[in-house]
Amino acid sequence: MFDHVLSLIRGEAAPPTSGDGLKLAVAALLVETARMDDTFDAAERGVILRLLGARFGLDAAAANRLLTAAERAEAGASDLFRFTKALSEALTSAERIGLIEMMWEVAFADGAPDPEEDALLRRVAGLIGVDDHDRGEAKRRVMARLGRSAAG
């Protein structure tokens, strides 16, 4: 499994449509969201670890390993298509919307999302087949969970 993850990081293999490759693709998009504002702070890292643990049933050590692999994969990726293609093909509509919610949670982890994070969410949503309405509703649900008003 680790050899396959390394080949994904180096761009030598496309993410598979199930299992570890999908986990890595989700985690890499969460890392990309955190890095969009040029910082990847402890709050964002904590949110990502919590989301990965909850979404994939991972303990803290496994979530940390996945996050570490995702950081390497995201840093070595020239574009998002490697990650989004596999996800758009393998996930149901509800799961893709759930991914957008996860990304919004990361974007809100260090305060209000900045324009780069918003643009990333818009781009990823389009690539995985989540329309503007569902992307906006996902944002509103996350804001409600976080106790945030529409003003920020």
Instruction: Give the domain ranges of the chain.
Output: 2-146
- Decide: helix, strand or coil at residue 131: coil
The conformation of residue 77, written as its DSSP 8-state character, comes to -
pTM of the model: 0.85
The H or E element that residue 65 is part of is: helix 60-76
pLDDT tens per residue, range 97-115: 999 999 999 999 988 899 9
Q: Which amino acid appears at position 13 of this protein?
A: A
Please list, in sequence order, all residues whose beta carbon lies within 8 angstroms of the beta carbon of residue 73, skipping any fewer than 6 positions away.
5, 8, 9, 24, 27, 28, 83
% of the chain exceeding 70 in pLDDT? 86
Residue of 47, 42, 51 whose CA lies nearest to 23: 51
Does domain 2-146 sit in CATH 1.10.3720.10?
no
